[in-house]
Amino acid sequence: MEHKREIQADIVIIGGGLIGCATACALARDSRFDRIVVLEKETEIGVHQSGRNSGVIHSGIFYSPGSQKAENCRVGRAKLINFCEEEGIDYDLCGKVIVATRESEIPILHEIHERGISNGVENHLLSAAQLREREPYATGLKALFVPSAGIVDFRSVCRRLAERVEDAGHDVIRGAEVQQINEGPEAISVETTDTRIIARIAVNCSGLYTDRIARLAGQYVDFQIIPFRGVYYELIPEARKYCRNLIYPVPDPAFPFLGIHFTRTLSGRIECGPNAVLAAGREAYELRNTSWSDMREILGFPGFRELARKHWRKGLLEMIRTISTREFVRALQHLIPVVQQKHVFRTRSGIRAQAVDSDGNLIEDFLIKESERMISVCNAPSPAATACLRIGEKIAERVRRRIG
Ligand SMILES: Cc1cc2nc3c(=O)[nH]c(=O)nc-3n(C[C@H](O)[C@H](O)[C@H](O)COP(=O)(O)OP(=O)(O)OC[C@H]3O[C@@H](n4cnc5c(N)ncnc54)[C@H](O)[C@@H]3O)c2cc1C
């Protein structure tokens, strides 16, 4: 029989992304816990969603007042900035503009303005001329300026969070893929190929795999993670002058996470994207990474088939934008008409873990499920990077309530 190293811990956290590391960090401040273990399957921290996002510190303007997203984003943003200050991590609160390019978008822009006021997010309506003063190459009928939005490198944030956990004497084990979980009355056992952690409680922060990990522990799972891939382009150095900071379109209320935007990075590059299409696997960052078993699982899920039936037109358009640079650029030209195909080149992609219910609805807010000894973060979509420190604290509160 194989012999596994056994570790006794208070808490085991599955997943070393921003949510797992922020949760561990919040728990590490509690001296009652002698040993916290984070298990990350990759050899590096934060290489999936947490290290492949747009790097935008969201202001919280878009979210329904009173929603978890709105509260987590507002409080989390402040905590993130404080953390960056303490750790000497670069960030820039450069502000963003949201641009209405069609008459039909103006009422939505006004709604966002009101929403921002209800959420306590400072924002200003701009005329077309005022927009040009801020972003000389952006063309719109009207715009909103949101000063509190900004940029940061979330991978650095994630790494530093993991280091804080280690500095406090706890373990972050890299290259440790969880393969088996047994929840018992007294403890929960979480196993990788060579290690067994026996803990009082486990927290599932496995991002693109939260449904699988929850199922592995015998939790009731009535949703599935559908991976949506987003492609990024970048402006060539000569065209960087076309965007000063962050330029966003007015979101379609039915698909708030869609909408290709321009983002300045801290190093002065300008990224454009991402779009969103079904990924051919949970980690299919390139088409050649297709996972047939993931595809079978996705296509066999009634919720996905219902989602595809309802939204196939939108899906097709996004797909075309993935294949055709010309179509991608056409979407960019709505915001900055001077951008041409010769000004962009394709760079990277990211994959969003989006929980979808069995009726084909995208679950928009954070979703957490609990059993006796496991807490699963089932849905942590954007702005979860901005809000990670607040979400981590909330999960830590749940852990304390369970442990008593
Ligand atoms: C394209 C894109 C753009 C985005 N832009 C923004 C933005 O600008 N601003 C913002 O606030 N938010 C943004 N988001 C959202 C944000 O990045 C995510 O919500 C956040 O990073 C989620 O963190 P996480 O820890 O839940 O997931 P992840 O970062 O995916 O971490 C999960 C971790 O679990 C590990 N894992 C999985 N299975 C196992 C296993 N069996 N054993 C051990 N480890 C395992 C994985 O390797 C991974 O490291 C964006 C997301 C994407 C994809």
Q: State in Å: Cα 258 to ligand 1 middle.
A: 17
133 CA from centroid of ligand 1 (Å)? 36
pLDDT for 2 equals 66
Whether 5-49+155-222+365-403 and 93-149+224-357 share one fold: the answer is no
> Cα of 43 to ligand 1 centre, how many Å?
15
Dist. CA 66–CA 46, nearest whole Å: 30
Ligand 1 atom closest to 349 (CA): 1
| pLDDT given at position 252 | 80
CA 246 to each of CA 24, 84, 260, 326: distance values in angstroms, whole numbers, following the listed order:
32, 20, 11, 22
Q: Which residues line ligand 1 (CB under 6 A)?
A: 14-20, 39-42, 48-50, 52-56, 58, 177-178, 205-209, 213, 230, 274, 350-352, 380-386
Cα 240 to Cα 68: distance, rounded to the nearest angstrom: 36
| CA atoms of 388 and 366, how far apart (whole Å) | 11
Interatomic CA distance for residues 82 and 57, integer angstroms: 13
Query: Which superfamily, per CATH, for 5-49+155-222+365-403?
Result: FAD/NAD(P)-binding domain (3.50.50.60)
The pLDDT assigned to 316 comes to: 67
Residues 260 and 239: their CA atoms lie apart, in Å, by 17
> What does the domain layout of the chain look like in residue ranges?
5-49+155-222+365-403, 93-149+224-357
Select from 62, 155, 206 the residue to mutate for testing ligand 1; criterion: most ligand atoms less than 8 Å from CB: 206
Q: What SS3 state is found at 319? A: helix
User: pLDDT tens digits for the chain (404 residues)?
Assistant: 568 999 999 999 999 999 999 999 999 999 999 999 999 999 999 999 999 999 999 999 988 888 888 999 999 999 999 999 999 999 999 999 999 999 999 999 999 999 999 999 999 999 999 999 999 999 999 999 999 999 999 999 999 999 999 999 999 999 999 999 999 999 999 999 999 999 999 999 999 999 999 999 999 999 999 999 999 999 999 999 999 999 999 988 666 667 789 999 999 999 998 988 889 999 999 878 899 999 999 999 999 999 888 877 777 667 777 777 888 899 899 999 999 999 999 999 999 999 999 999 989 888 999 999 999 999 999 999 999 999 999 999 999 999 87
Residue nearest ligand 1's atom 16 by CA: 385
For 93-149+224-357, CATH number?
Answer: 3.30.9.10
Per-residue confidence (pLDDT) for residue 390, from 0 to 100? 97
pTM, to two decimals:
0.96
